[in-house]
Amino acid sequence: MEEAGIAIEFWHWLVIGFALASLETVVRGAVFFWMGVSAVAVGVIVWVAPALSVEVQVFLFALLSVVAVVSWRRYRAANANSGRGDDTESPPSAGAG
């Protein structure tokens, strides 16, 4: 697939996706992770439908990235206290008395 000298194959998206996801190990916030997941998803879509233009690929990446990041932030905000034990009393320690 080549338009105006630009050719993006499915494996380009996979490499970009894994690079973005691995960038999350040094930058906190889960933004790069979800952008990486979106890039891998576009890579799979391009693998299945290789006739997609570069513009459509970039649009899909942008759309999936925004949806993924916003969804993650809403999920995290809704479940901010679950699993931490902040809303329950902790049992007394064995040495207290």
Model confidence, pTM: 0.74
Q: What is the pLDDT along the chain (97 residues), one digit of tens a residue?
A: 554 677 888 989 999 999 998 988 888 777 899 999 999 999 999 999 999 999 999 999 999 999 999 998 899 888 887 665 544 455 556 665 5
Q: What are the distances in angstroms from CA 54 to CA 3, 7, 44, 50, 59?
A: 7, 8, 14, 10, 9
The rounded distance, in Å, linking the Cα atoms of 69 and 73 is 6
